[in-house]
Amino acid sequence: MNDHYSESPVVFNCEGQRLIGIIAQPHHQRIKIGVLIVVGGPQYRAGSHRQFTLLARDLAENGIASLRFDYRGMGDSEGNQHTFETVDADLQTAIDCLMQHRPELTSVIIWGLCDAASAALIYAHHDLRVSGLILLNPWVHTEEAAARVRLTQYYSKRLLQRSFWTKLFSGRFEFFSSSRDLLKSVRSIKNSIDNSDIKSVVSSPQTLTATNFIEKMCIGLQCFRGNVLFVLSGNDLTAQEFISLKERHRKWRVAFQKQNISQHIIPQANHTFSSNEWRNEVLNVSIQVILKENK
């Protein structure tokens, strides 16, 4: 039993299915804003290397209540598995649950990693109870974006590495395999350019392609009025794809000019911020956003 906080399991209903979550709540509530921790990828509420469990406990130690939970079809929750594009109902009912159990809360900040960050960005502007977003390495993957990142982040850097030239001159460099990968990346970019004029025609609201989920994210960013913090890893291809997207596309560049949007990069961090140092840095910048919103 911790002297500063407690954890309680909760069961709540989402479209006829029971969802399972854990509320971490400080014994002495100081912050009137709660945090909904949204799980990214095929994960359950603990997260890789217990990331979300540790985050929730650290927040509670700092007087901040939070809920981490399993989507429908994941972990201990009922129902069929849902992709991140189709979890609006899960997010809405999770916020309902947190605010019902902690009635002193005035609003909620959504904290999400990878495709959970993407889901939060799509959802948040529809729910006035959401006052802020903390988004880590949002998922914006397309073949064209991945190809560009491979060319700019991998192949260009390889040419500057001594190990590359050592392998080349020693005969250990797999030339044909590397050439095929390089040509595949170039071809992906070329195909994307060739098809760019017809993408808006073939996409439809009924078909969630990569293009329109990214467009939904951009619309969400443009419409959301609360504070948004993007936390990006310096050693992660997902983060690099997101950086490339916002640098190359005008709508994203314009959206990022809003006063309520900030960015924090942790240069050496991997995708899940797996070291204690990176995890603590994420915690500290997250708390800063919450305290700012709490004023």
| Same domain, yes or no: 120 and 233 | yes
pLDDT at 41: 76
One domain, residues 190 and 216: no
DSSP letter string over 78-135?
-S----GGG-HHHHHHHHHHHHHH-TT--EEEEEEETHHHHHHHHHGGG-TTEEEEEE
Both 15 and 46 in one domain: the answer is yes
In a domain? residue 204? no
Tell me, yes or no, whether 96 and 222 share the same domain.
Answer: yes
Range of the domain at 86: 5-137+209-294
pLDDT of residue 93: 98
More confident: 292 or 54: 54
| Residue 95 included in any domain | yes
Residues 161 and 287 in one domain: no
Both 150 and 34 in one domain: the answer is: no
Do residue 240 and residue 217 come from a single domain? yes
Residue 263: which pLDDT band, with cuts at 50, 70 and 90?
A: very high
- pLDDT of 218 higher than 70: yes
Contact 135, 112 (CB under 8 A): yes
Better-scored residue on pLDDT, 130 or 41:
130
Half-sphere exposure of 60 (CA within 13 A, CB side): 26
The whole-model pTM stands at 0.81
Question: Mean pLDDT across the stretch 254-259?
Answer: 92
How far is the C-alpha of 284 from the C-alpha of 264, rounded, in Å? Answer: 11
Overall number of domains in the chain: 2
CATH of the domain at 98: 3.40.50.1820
Average pLDDT over residues 96-105: 96
**How confident is the model at residue 294, as a pLDDT?**
82
Interatomic CA distance for residues 157 and 147, integer angstroms: 15
pLDDT, tens digit, for every residue of 150-179?
556 554 554 555 654 455 456 554 544 544
- The highest-confidence range among 115-124, 175-184, 239-248, by mean pLDDT, is 115-124
**Does residue 227 share a domain with residue 94?**
yes
161 found inside a domain: yes
Query: How many Cβ atoms are within 10 Å of 233's Cβ, its own excluded?
Result: 22
Distance CA 212, CA 13 (A): 29
User: What integer pLDDT is reported at residue 194 of this predicted model?
Assistant: 46
In tens, the pLDDT along 7-63 reads 999 999 999 999 999 999 999 877 999 999 999 877 889 988 899 999 999 999 999
Specify whether 238 is located in the same domain as 266: yes
Q: Are residues 17 and 92 in the same domain?
A: yes
Residues 6+ apart with CB under 8 A from 95: 36, 108, 127, 129, 130
What distance lies between CA 111 and its chain's CA centroid?
Answer: 8
pLDDT interval class at 259 (50, 70, 90): very high
What is the distance between the alpha carbons of residues 199 and 191, in angstroms, rounded to a whole number? 12
CA 38/CA 139 separation, integer angstroms: 14
Q: Is residue 202 part of a domain?
A: no
pLDDT for residue 183 is more than 60:
no
Report d(CA 295, CA 239) in Å as an integer: 30
Judge whether 289 lies within some domain: yes
Q: Is the pLDDT of residue 292 over 90?
A: no
Q: Which residue has the higher pLDDT, 212 or 216?
A: 216
Calpha distance 172→164 (Å, rounded): 10
Same domain, 97 and 80: yes
Mean pLDDT of all residues in 255-271: 95
Looking at the structure, do residues 115 and 147 belong to the same domain, yes or no? no
CA distance 223 to 219: 6
Structural domain contains residue 56? yes
pLDDT at 19: 97
User: What pLDDT does residue 112 have?
Assistant: 97
Q: 71-87 burial by CB neighbour count: b if 16+ within 10 A, else e? A: bbebbebebeebebeeb
156 falls within a domain? yes
223 pLDDT higher than 70: yes
Q: Is 200 inside a domain boundary? A: no
Adjacent-strand bridge partners of 112: 38, 135
Has residue 191 got a pLDDT over 60? Answer: no
